[in-house]
């Protein structure tokens, strides 16, 4: 798939993410405003509480971490008022110059996938982010509208590849007619999408979501994560159990491409902004020590 030049004046997402990871450490902080966390912060589970929580996180951490990842579901559950808050959060991140990875896990075909691409990856869209998560389980080729839109605007996508939830193995570990695991087909698709960037010595803009707690899955399924050429978004770091030994076992030579994702491990120290910054700095240092030593 040939990539179009990105929008004028905007470097490709992979290049921007690599620079942000070098500057701030390989950490992405999730904004996951579920009811229990809002309550822990002394906030109501309402659109107003959602807004207060989310904008406090942005104010505390923007410009201090490589990326911030709002989880769309926790905004969508409040209906149109929640979506309005999400638009405001994404706009605040844009103004601050901090990369926004919107966790929406969209996946569909044809004009429907093109509609999602317009919603999240088009310049001027109210919900536009620097990158989004997508699901490839209607076939990697079904992602074409999102891949094309991202390439045209200098944005990125993170494709679900190997997740740590027990149910994921039934699909991701399954073998295709060629004998290759479904997860390996996804990795191969990302590698093809990132070929030009890799040839130019750049980090590609098509990343993969690989759980930090998948154990021997990468080895058993023969996944060449380094050859994929893009960033590796890794949930499950820190509070969810994965430390340096687990990260080495899962990612091996591709560790330098890993963007560790943490939500509870940072947001649990709120709502005080100083404590949030300290928690993020600590998590970023721990991620750097584990991934870039």
Q: 228, 194 in Cβ contact below 8 A?
A: yes
Q: Please give the structure tokens belonging to residue 98.
A: 């901090």
Confidence (pTM): 0.95
- pLDDT, residue 141, reads 97
Strands (E), the chain: 27-31, 67-70, 99-106, 131-134, 156-162, 206-210, 232-234, 258-262
> How many Cβ atoms are within 10 Å of 144's Cβ, its own excluded?
17
CA-CA distance, 134 to 116, in Å (whole number)?
10
Exposed/middle/buried for 53, CB within 10 Å: 0-12, 13-18, 19+? buried
- pLDDT, residue 78, reads 98
Task: Kindly report the average pLDDT of the chain as a whole number.
Answer: 94
- pLDDT, residue 2, reads 41
Q: Please give the structure tokens belonging to residue 124.
A: 């001027």
> Annotated active-site positions, please?
105
Top-confidence residue, 184 or 10: 184
Q: What angle do CA 106, 121, 75 make, to 5 degrees?
A: 55
Write the pLDDT tens digit of every residue in 5-42: 555 468 999 999 999 999 999 999 999 999 999 999 99
Q: Please give the structure tokens belonging to residue 144.
A: 């074409």
Write the pLDDT tens digit of every residue in 104-155: 999 999 999 999 999 999 999 999 999 999 999 999 999 999 999 999 999 9
DSSP 240: G
Strand-strand pairing, 232-234 and 258-262: parallel
DSSP string, 194-260: THHHHHTT---SEEEEE-TT-TTHHHHTT--HHHH-S-EEE--BGGGSB-HHHHHHHHGGGGGGEEE
């Amino acid at each position: 798939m040939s990539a179009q030049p990105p929008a004028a004046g905007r470097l490709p997402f992979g290049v921007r993410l690599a620079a942000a990871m070098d500057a701030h450490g390989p950490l992405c902080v999730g904004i996951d405003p579920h009811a229990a966390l809002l309550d822990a912060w002394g906030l109501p589970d309402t659109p107003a509480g959602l807004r207060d929580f989310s904008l406090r996180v942005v104010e505390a951490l923007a410009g201090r971490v490589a990326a911030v990842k709002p989880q769309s579901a926790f905004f969508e559950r409040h209906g149109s008022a929640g979506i309005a808050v999400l638009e405001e959060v994404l706009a605040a991140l844009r103004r601050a110059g901090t990369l926004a990875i919107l966790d929406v896990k969209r996946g569909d075909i044809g004009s429907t996938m093109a509609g999602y691409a317009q919603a999240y990856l088009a310049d001027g869209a109210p919900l536009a982010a620097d990158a989004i998560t997508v699901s490839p389980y209607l076939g990697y080729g079904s992602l074409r509208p999102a891949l094309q839109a991202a390439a045209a605007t200098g944005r990125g996508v993170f494709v679900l590849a190997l997740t740590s939830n027990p149910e994921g193995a039934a699909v991701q570990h399954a073998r295709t007619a060629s004998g290759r695991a479904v997860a390996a087909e996804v990795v191969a698709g990302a590698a093809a999408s990132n070929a030009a960037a890799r040839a130019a010595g750049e980090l590609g803009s098509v990343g993969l979501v690989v759980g930090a707690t998948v154990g021997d899955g990468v080895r058993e399924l023969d996944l060449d994560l380094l050859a994929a050429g893009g960033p590796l978004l890794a949930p499950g770091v820190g509070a969810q159990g994965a430390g340096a030994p687990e990260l080495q076992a899962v990612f091996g030579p591709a560790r330098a491409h890993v963007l560790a994702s943490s939500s509870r491990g940072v947001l649990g120290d709120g709502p005080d902004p100083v404590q949030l910054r300290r928690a993020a700095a600590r998590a970023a240092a721990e991620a750097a020590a584990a991934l870039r030593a």
